[in-house]
Amino acid sequence: MKRTTTTAACAAAVLLTAALAGCSDSSDNSSRTGYGTTSSASASASASASASPKQATVDTKTAGDLGTILVDDKGRTLYLFLADKKNKSNCNGDCAKAWPPFLTKGKPKAGKGADEKLLDTTKRSDGDEQVTYNGHPLYYYSGDSKPGQTNGQDLNQFGAVWYVVDAKGKQVES
């Protein structure tokens, strides 16, 4: 019994290492906190945030030098992906594991500081409804382990750069 448990634990560690290695790119962002790492707590928190959608709420929050940015109703940072087209996500598979889509059931709601006219949804290739803001599909970053973190800001992963979003629906460059 003990040997089976150890073997299973080793296999899980190898799979996690392989998955994390697939999330890196050749850009030199190694000095960024959270780059290329995923804690199991943050991965499961982000995955559960998008795995069973409810009616989504988009709020705003001040994030230091980045100014006022979009967050969900729990204060978790939302990002846009420059490889996306207007109202069309181009982040699937391994990309969506590292950058879980912000999903909703029904029309998303505008919370404090968000503009309801900029909120909408787009249908993902798997049929899920993803929240968009000013035409940008929104995502979480698995490297953000708690509300208010912005570890995904200005990362170049999966072929393009990721940015936090301001209340006008524009990318925030740092």
pLDDT at 52: 55
Parent domain of 84: 2-172
- Cα–Cα distance, 90 to 125 (Å, whole number): 9
Count the domains in the chain.
Answer: 1
Burial of 135 (0-12, 13-18, 19+ CB in 10 A): middle
Tell me the pLDDT tens digit for each residue of 100-130. Answer: 999 999 999 999 999 999 999 999 999 999 9
Tell me the pLDDT tens digit for each residue of 40-97. Answer: 334 434 444 444 578 999 999 999 999 999 999 999 999 999 999 999 999 999 999 9
- The share of the chain scoring above pLDDT 70, in percent, equals 70
Whole-model pTM: value is 0.73
For 86-106, b/e burial (b = at least 16 CB within 10 A) is eeebebeeebbbbbbbbbbee
Q: How far is CA 49 from the centre of its chain?
A: 10
Q: Output phi, psi for 50, to 5 deg.
A: -105, -10
Tell me the pLDDT tens digit for each residue of 23-45. Answer: 433 333 333 323 233 333 344 34
